[in-house]
């Protein structure tokens, strides 16, 4: 599983993470600015900690002493942001197939048809990104992340900006993804009820430290 013991520091912020992720879904909550997104960015390889170690499924992704910093595209970790970032000039099908084609065939975990069914995307496949609602676009971005065949799925406030009705639509899809794929997931949110719904274990970060209180 995931094992972290690292520090990431800027001029005015320090993140100290020591954890072993045991369960399939780890939910992370904490005040704005506490370091939740910074943690995900260190895992995916967008940011490089100053010191420490990050290991995932027996692979060292980062080790300051051994000068190991596996580049993002080799980590097999997908990150879903608050705003679905789809290619605007492509339709939904093209957006999805683009992600799939980046993975060599015998390493693909899911196929296109399976993802279309799982996320009920069939009625949308010919639409361009700007012809989708926020919730539909987020479903496509979840599908695209899955087709990149990740070993770990990171979700950074994926429901923020969606109204209650859309949240209530997307959460069951995320639950289906969790149940059907068995993918390890880390889910950052301000809403504890989302983690409870997804039956995740919960971790709180305060001012860059894990709060065990
Ligand atoms: N691009 C950046 N440049 C400089 N400082 C940043 C940058 N992004 C975040 N920070 C700072 O790093 C610290 C941690 O921010 P981070 O985004 O990880 O918090 P967060 O817990 O995800 O907050 P939120 O819940 O508001 O998304 C904060 O002090 C923030 O101001």
Structure tokens at 58: 């027996």
For residue 88, the CA-to-ligand 1 centroid distance in Å is 27
CA of 38 to the centre of ligand 1 (A): 6
Pocket-forming residues, ligand 1, beta carbon under 6 Å: 10, 13, 30, 32-38
**Prediction pTM value:** 0.92
- Whether the complex's predicted ipTM surpasses the cut of 0.85: yes
Reduced to 3 states (helix: H, G, I; strand: E, B; else coil), residue 50 is coil
How many Å apart are CA 203 and CA 190, to the nearest integer? 12
How many angstroms is it from 61 CA to the middle of ligand 1? 22
Per-residue pLDDT of the chain (213 residues; tens, 9 = 90+): 899 999 999 999 999 999 999 999 999 999 999 999 999 999 999 999 999 999 999 999 999 999 999 999 999 999 998 877 899 899 999 999 999 999 999 989 888 998 998 888 999 999 998 899 888 898 899 999 999 999 999 999 998 877 888 788 889 989 998 998 899 999 999 999 999 999 999 999 999 999 976
Q: What's the rounded Cα separation, in Å, for the pair 187 and 173?
A: 14
């Amino acid at each position: 599983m995931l094992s972290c013991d690292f520090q990431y520091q800027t001029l005015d912020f320090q993140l100290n993470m020591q954890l072993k992720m045991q369960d399939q879904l780890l939910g992370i909550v904490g005040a704005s600015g506490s370091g939740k997104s910074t943690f995900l960015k260190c895992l995916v390889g967008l940011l490089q900690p100053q010191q420490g170690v990050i290991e995932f499924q027996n692979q060292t992704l980062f080790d300051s002493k051994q000068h190991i910093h596996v580049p993002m595209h080799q980590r097999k970790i997908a990150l879903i942001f608050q705003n679905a970032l789809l290619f605007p000039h492509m339709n939904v099908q093209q957006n999805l197939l683009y992600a799939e084609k980046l993975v060599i065939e015998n390493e693909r975990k899911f196929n296109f048809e399976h993802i279309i069914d799982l996320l009920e995307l069939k009625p949308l496949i010919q639409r361009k990104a700007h012809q989708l609602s926020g919730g539909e676009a987020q479903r496509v971005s979840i599908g695209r992340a899955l087709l990149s065949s990740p070993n770990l799925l990171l979700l950074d406030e994926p429901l923020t900006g969606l109204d209650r009705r859309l949240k209530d639509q997307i959460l069951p899809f995320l639950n289906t993804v969790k149940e059907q794929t068995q993918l390890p997931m880390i889910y950052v949110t301000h809403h504890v009820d989302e983690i409870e719904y997804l039956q995740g274990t919960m971790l709180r970060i305060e001012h860059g430290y894990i709060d065990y209180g």
